Amino acid sequence: MELANDALLDAADLAAWFGAQYGVPPVSIWRAPGRVNLIGEHTDYNEGLVLPFALARGVLTAAAGRKDAGIGLRSRQRAAEPVTLAPGQLRPGTVPGWAGYAAGCVWALEQAGYPVGGLSVAIDSDLPMGAGLASSAALTCSVLSAISTLAGGSVSGYAPSGMGKPAPTRTEIAALAQRAESGFVGMPCGIMDQSAAMLCQAGHALLLDCQSGVSAAVPLDVAGAGLQLLVTDTGVRHALADGQYAARRRECEQAASMLGVGSLRQVSDVAGLAGLPAPQLQRARHVVTENLRVQQVADLLRAGRLPEIGDLLTASHVSLRDDFEVSWRAADLAVDAALAAGALGARMTGGGFGGCVIALLPAGQATAVRAAINLALDTDPAAAPAYLDVEPADGARQVWPGH
């Protein structure tokens, strides 16, 4: 199965749907992208290094104020599930499902001192949910960006009324999106996905130091190197809030505590992990070696040696499979099949337990790699592969009114 490479979303179409739902046009529509993490998995909440890039696919959010104090939430993917919340209803854990992420954005803004007031929101998405492409971060970042422009300001601009203070910057929106997801929904995520949604640039990956918050654009000219990146959605879905993700984070925190450090970022060599018991040893070993791999990949990209990152991508997958134990059968089959069919490197991407695999291929090799993966995944009844050729895209932007 093919997934269209171009974004399927249309702002004018969402604006018309918004008007049909609420009886007024939207004031602002923002798009925030999903992301693929080239390398650097489960390092963000350990204050480590990550290297994601943004996708052409993402989430659109249309927003407008309303005269009453209610909060209306609509999703084109859940058209039969409209949600209207009354003032004072926004408490962590009280809004289930997709609407909890949007409601969490309003809650996070209010917690940060931005009075939101009555609000109508409509959402559209062309990202597969639960596929490890950061659909939840794309949703929260697009909602927050759209809401932040309602008072007449803009992201990174100034809101002269309504919010009453400078609108949040892109970096601040990423932090608010993380707070919405962790503090309101209850998913203890790191900052990588939200930072990618807000800060990425076309043709580049984003090297983000999750300890300092410092980020830098790293060239990722895949086509110029005679290569291509292929994402395989294995069709196996995860639910990261079901406890597995939280368990891995807890084990990392336990390892850091046993080592007497504030986070595993403070450990730079696996020799420093001596004495840790299982599973804390395995979790910490993945984090320490993954940080090293991220830096090595960034250095190779800056030096124009993109083909050489393949072995590091594959090493990352082995570490996630064996030490962090977040891979799944379809991902392992897809990685092995891609490598056997000529991929230079391949790895699972995302939090794990389901979702996608990314492979670095010589240009023109995609047909053979897809055929090999299809054949391999025929042996897994849980798998239903679909494919997406990807190139690094821009981060969040306003798409309505048109510019």
Q: What is the pLDDT of residues 80-93, one digit of tens each?
A: 889 999 877 899 99
Residue whose structure tokens are 């949040």:
168
Tell me what pLDDT residue 242 has: 64
Q: How confident is the model at residue 311 (pLDDT cuts 50, 70, 90)?
A: very high
Stretch among 2-11, 125-134, 320-329, 334-343 having the lowest mean pLDDT:
2-11
* pLDDT score of 152 more than 80: no
DSSP 304: T
* pLDDT score of 146 more than 80: yes
Structure tokens at 401: 């009114």
DSSP 351: S
Average the pLDDT over 42-46 and give the result. Answer: 95
Tell me what pLDDT residue 240 has: 57
Tell me what pLDDT residue 5 has: 43
Identified catalytic residue from 44, 126, 193, 380 = 193
Arithmetic mean of pLDDT over the chain: 91
Identify whether the C-beta of residue 55 lies closer than 8 Å to the C-beta of residue 33.
Answer: yes
Tell me what pLDDT residue 389 has: 87
Identify whether the C-beta of residue 394 lies closer than 8 Å to the C-beta of residue 59.
Answer: no
Three-state SS for 207?
Answer: strand
Q: How confident is the model at residue 245 (pLDDT cuts 50, 70, 90)?
A: confident
pLDDT digits (tens, 9 = 90+) for 188-230: 888 999 999 999 999 999 999 999 999 999 999 999 999 999 9
Q: How confident is the model at residue 61 (pLDDT cuts 50, 70, 90)?
A: very high
pLDDT digits (tens, 9 = 90+) for 247-297: 999 999 999 999 999 999 999 999 999 999 999 999 999 999 999 999 999
Tell me what pLDDT residue 207 has: 98
Average the pLDDT over 161-188 and give the result. Answer: 86
Which residue, 247, 267, 269, 246, is CA-closest to 258? 267
**Is the bond leading into 279 cis (omega within 30 degrees of zero)?**
yes
Tell me whether residue 193 is one of the annotated catalytic residues. yes
- What is the spatial distance between Cα 66 and Cα 134, in angstroms, rounded to a whole number? 30
Q: Which helix (H) or strand (E) holds 348?
A: strand 345-349
Rounded to 5°, angle at Cα 38 from 242 and 211: 75
Q: Where do runs of H (alpha helix) occur along 158-270?
A: 170-179, 192-199, 244-259
Residue 336, φ and ψ in degrees, nearest 5: -60, -40
DSSP 393: B
DSSP 36: E
